[in-house]
Amino acid sequence: MTTYYVDYAKEKVNRAISEDDVWDGPKTGPSIVSNKNIIYVASDLRNGGVYGVGKGVSEAISNLDWDLRFIDGFGSEVRQGAAIKKAISFKPDAIILGGIDAQKHKEVLKVAKSQGIVVIGWHATELAGGNSELGLFMNVTTDPLAVAEIAAMLAIVNSGGRAKTLIFSDPNYKIATIKANAMADTIRRCASCEVLEVNALPLDKIAEQMPVTFESLWNKYGGDITHILAINDLYIDYVIPSLETNVEQQIQIPQNISAGDGSRAAYKRINNGGFQLATVPEPLYLHGWQITDELNRAFNQLPPSGYSAKVHMVTPENVSQLIGRQERGVYDPKNGYREAYLKIWKP
């Protein structure tokens, strides 16, 4: 059974590593509606993901006669709420929530809905799709369950079906818990693998707590740890000083895999062959173009496209292709999505 599962995992991992060069998204849809005013409300434009999606939206809209404005929430829930209210006051045709938790702002989003403002989110809820209760026409995101599964499957493949994993997650975010549980479930489906522990370490506490947390975990499990799985690259950023100490003492260190993010630091580590085996980035610019397309579908009184981008994994095998491109540090699939969307909008 273990051999079969490792082979199955290897097949899925290989697919996720391969270059995504075929457009599998929508090929038909409504022609573009003219003269629309859009406001992108960002959770925090210092966040690389939020900024990247905003850049994708801006790039897409540059081909249209739409107006786009940005309002920054500066990483604060209170400021984000104020930013949404400010956006509503401008009476736009649509608001994009970039990385803002829609559930925490459901009351003000009801105001937007009552005024006929279309609201689309990026990472605004846990899963892709619409949410009428929150007034979301569509939430765009890569499937977090698929992202978590492929990260855990790489650990299984890399260990030859003998992974013993630590999993790091943030208990304050439902999406983080969903991903951590999915990683744990995937590891447990491998009969000869083991989840040593799922450690709840909040993102805003990583810098100060990771050294003592990892020391405690190492004292508990030591050399049994073959892999560390984390919900994003930040956990790996802050575990490295502890791992460097182990390297200096010639102690075998675990392989590290991030189920989401795709930071420049992560790509550098993967490319250098040190401290990180893989990360699972999202196609930020593509998501920006998809959001623009979903807006146009809403303006045409049509349902969302239902598209969800394929999961892509960056490993030593393919990282050089990414960092060697002009837009270094941003995974941007060369599958012709820009041309495909323009063909829909302007047939």
Per-residue confidence band for 260, with pLDDT thresholds at 50, 70 and 90: confident
H helix runs in the chain, sequence order: 2-17, 48-61, 77-89, 106-114, 144-158, 174-188, 206-221, 233-248, 264-272, 284-299, 319-323, 337-345
Whole-angstrom CA distances from 68 to 24, 62, 301 are 27, 9, 21
Kindly report which listed range (27-31, 185-189, 240-244) carries the lowest average pLDDT score: 240-244
Compute the average pLDDT of residues 2-30: 92
Compute the average pLDDT of residues 214-239: 95
Per-residue confidence band for 324, with pLDDT thresholds at 50, 70 and 90: low
Q: What pLDDT does residue 325 have?
A: 52
Which letter does DSSP use for residue 37 in this model? E
Residue 271 has pLDDT above 70, yes or no: yes
Whole-angstrom CA distances from 308 to 106, 273, 293, 331, 343 are 24, 31, 13, 16, 19
Per-residue confidence band for 310, with pLDDT thresholds at 50, 70 and 90: very high
Compute the average pLDDT of residues 180-185: 98
Q: What pLDDT does residue 173 have?
A: 83
Compute the average pLDDT of residues 189-207: 94
The amino acid that residue 198 corresponds to is V
Percent of the chain past pLDDT 90, that is, above it, reads 84
Residue 326 has pLDDT above 80, yes or no: no
Residue that has been written with the tokens 């929150």 in this structure: 134
Q: How far apart are CA 37 and CA 188, in angstroms?
A: 49
Compute the average pLDDT of residues 35-58: 94
Compute the average pLDDT of residues 6-12: 95
Residue 30 has pLDDT above 70, yes or no: yes
Is the full-model pTM beyond 0.85?
yes
Residue that has been written with the tokens 């250098």 in this structure: 272
Q: What pLDDT does residue 124 have?
A: 95
Is the CB of residue 331 less than 8 Å from the CB of residue 310?
Answer: no
Q: Express each pLDDT in 239-250 by its tens digit.
A: 999 999 888 888
Q: Express each pLDDT in 98-117 by its tens digit.
A: 999 999 999 999 999 999 99
H helix runs in 131-254, sequence order: 144-158, 174-188, 206-221, 233-248
